[in-house]
Structure 1
Amino acid sequence: MALVLPVSAAFVTHGVLQLVANGWRAVLHRRHVRWDIVGWYALASLIAGIAVSLVSLVPSKPLLFLLLGLIPGLTWLPQRWINLDASRPIQAFLSGLAVTGLNLTAGVAGPLLDIFFVRTELTRHAIVATKAATQVFAHLAKIVVYGLPLLASKDAGAPPLWLFAVAIPLSMLGTMLGGRILNRMTDVNFKRWTRWIVTGIGGLYLLQAAQLLLRS
């Protein structure tokens, strides 16, 4: 989205689609959601959203792609360096602050969120369901922080409404198909594939950041 839209418009568009996708995923796997984690995360998301809105920070595209590319590297840090566990209340709160703050400045923060879950004792279904529920609040914060100024702007560069009408049902369908794949995986393979996929995508972001920096 950041390749074809202004940063603010990309944030809001991504926020809307991911709000629907994660909300639907949380509904589909609702019996696996750890609501105590979600509660602490939601409180921290509110605080992070207020803080970022007061700063009014909108990153440039080179910085955006650089952050997106570097974030997956966090999943490869040795456990002795960062031993986080979202099932602990204080760390659930810290994950809400860190992930929502990064989500509002870099656009996405999935790999950072993964660090708080990948070393817990939760099953893959509980991880997916709880992460989905937490990201409802993270993307809601993104929509509020960047969406209100976007509505006030006459040249916002936002995509047409018909795009949302097409993309939202597709995001829900993708979520349902992803659930079937999840059922066929083991907890170990789920965590392994998550790490490699986000790392590969991060590499593409770094290449894009390098190209934009060289052009400037």
Structure 2
Amino acid sequence: MILKIVLLLAGTILAFWISAICGGGASLILIPILNLLLPTSLVPFSLTIGTFTSSASRIAVFKKHINWKIFLWFVPFSIPAVLLGAYLIKYVNPNYLQLIVALFLIANLPQLFASKNKSEETDKEYPKSALALIGFSAGFISGITGAVGLLFNRFYLKFGLKKEEIVATRAANEVFLHLIKLIIYISLGLYSGTALWLGIAIAVGAIVSSYTVKYILPHLSENLFKKIGYGAMVISGITLFTGTSGKIIQQDQIVVSNSSTQHKKVYSMSWRNTKMVLEYKANKGIEFEKTVSPEDLSGSLKEKYHSLMDHYDEVQIEKVYVFGKKITHEFYCYKNNVLTKFKV
């Protein structure tokens, strides 16, 4: 446990250095690490202890650079959203939201290779009212995943803020979100002793980073700052996508396979208790098959299922979509390990 905390502390200092230089992103860098140490539902608690401490310490260091106009548009809409997101964490699988966040981050790849002149031409400032939507989205995603900074860094860049202003304004916008999240996570029981110690390690690393990074920022040009920011978004997105997709494949038992013959090609995927098959036959064209439960049937199909259950040990149902033809259902009936197939 002590070794894990020491390694996390070292990683946190590095992550928050990169975060400050990029205008954000430590949370998304640390999520894959915490996923290895904690259950997914406890990761936001540990992360939020660190990000709250980081925001508070950055306000202390960069307070004169805060853009209060953006703050006053952002915060009122983000607070109710973070309450909603934190409440839904018990009912929503955060892995799927993390996957969406990862794809959004990877989508910044073209910005990384854009020329300086082209980047300046395309960076048109959003209207201030857009901050209401940005604030709500940031609060909601932050409430569920515990991370938000780098995801919305692109919007701060679009508002034309300088590098110190981005660091300071983001910290002011998010410090209230982190405090509210901590209260909600504790009230919902989404914490543990291990999560607390890991969170404290992140907090210590965040403080060290905040008070040392002020000596680094003055040496970076605005263009280099943007490039590093976009680069960090893409790298974090790839890392998050790799780690999260692996967890989703494992927890939902996703299996993809294919088989081919001279006259038929079959691609199948199973997800949880559902199996989907894409089949191509030279004489029939493309078919898409999906397993369905008896509860999804109605009318004569449900009657057919119950009549078959009177004679067989098990009945499995597939819904078949044939392009250009009507939908049919196939009943796979088993008795004494012998299969009989009916098509309706």
Q: Taking structure 1 as the reference length, what is the TM-score of the superposition? A: 0.82
Contact preservation (8 Å) 1:52, 1:101: yes
Alpha carbons of 1:119 and 1:173: their partners in 2 closer, same or farther (altered >3 Å)? same
Q: Distance in 2 between matches of 1:163 and 1:49?
A: 22
Contact preservation (8 Å) 1:6, 1:157: no
The within-5 A match list for 1:49-198 is 49-53=82-86, 55=88, 57-60=90-93, 62-76=95-109, 85=126, 88-150=127-189, 156-159=191-194, 161-198=196-233
Contact preservation (8 Å) 2:162, 2:222: yes
In structure 2, stretches of 5+ residues that fail to align are 1-33, 112-118, 254-344
Query: Which residue of 2 is the match for residue 28 of structure 1?
Result: 61
Deviation digits for residues 67-117 of structure 1 (CA, Å, limit 9, x no counterpart):
3422313535789999663xx431222221011111122332223311221
Query: What is the identity, as a one-letter code, of the residue corresponding to 1:159?
Result: T
Percent identity among equivalent residues? 20
Of stretches 17-26 and 142-151 in structure 1, the one that deviates more from structure 2 is 142-151
Runs of 4+ in 1 over 6 A off after TM superposition: 77-82
Alpha carbons of 1:22 and 1:99: their partners in 2 closer, same or farther (altered >3 Å)? same
Q: Indicate which of 72, 75, 92 corresponds to 1:39.
A: 72
Of stretches 156-165 and 6-15 in structure 1, the one that deviates more from structure 2 is 156-165
Alpha carbons of 1:170 and 1:48: their partners in 2 closer, same or farther (altered >3 Å)? same
Contact preservation (8 Å) 2:65, 2:168: yes
Q: Distance in 1 between matches of 2:67 and 2:177?
A: 16
Query: Which residue of 2 is the match for residue 5 of structure 1?
Result: 38
- What SS class does the counterpart of residue 89 from structure 1 fall into? coil
Query: What is the identity, as a one-letter code, of the residue corresponding to 1:135?
Result: E
Which gives a bigger RCO, structure 1 or 2 (Cα 8 Å, sep 6+)? 1
1:192 Cα offset (Å): 0.7
Contact preservation (8 Å) 1:64, 1:107: no
In structure 1, stretches of 5+ residues that fail to align are none
Q: Distance in 1 between matches of 2:133 and 2:161?
A: 18
- What SS class does the counterpart of residue 172 from structure 1 fall into? helix
1:167 Cα offset (Å): 3.6
Of stretches 31-40 and 159-168 in structure 1, the one that deviates more from structure 2 is 159-168
Q: Taking structure 2 as the reference length, what is the TM-score of the superposition? A: 0.54
Count of matched residue positions in the alignment of Structure 1 and Structure 2: 210
2:243 paired with 1:208: yes
Deviation digits for residues 180-213 of structure 1 (CA, Å, limit 9, x no counterpart):
2212111111111011112112111211123223
Of stretches 182-191 and 138-147 in structure 1, the one that deviates more from structure 2 is 138-147
Q: Distance in 1 between matches of 2:64 and 2:211?
A: 16
- What SS class does the counterpart of residue 171 from structure 1 fall into? helix
Q: Distance in 2 between matches of 1:214 and 1:161?
A: 28
Is the radius of gyration larger for structure 1 or structure 2? 2
Name the one with the larger strand percent.
2
Q: Distance in 1 between matches of 2:60 and 2:172?
A: 9
Alpha carbons of 1:148 and 1:37: their partners in 2 closer, same or farther (altered >3 Å)? same
Contact preservation (8 Å) 1:45, 1:141: no
Q: Distance in 2 between matches of 1:74 and 1:131?
A: 21
1:34 Cα offset (Å): 0.8
Contact preservation (8 Å) 1:71, 1:109: no
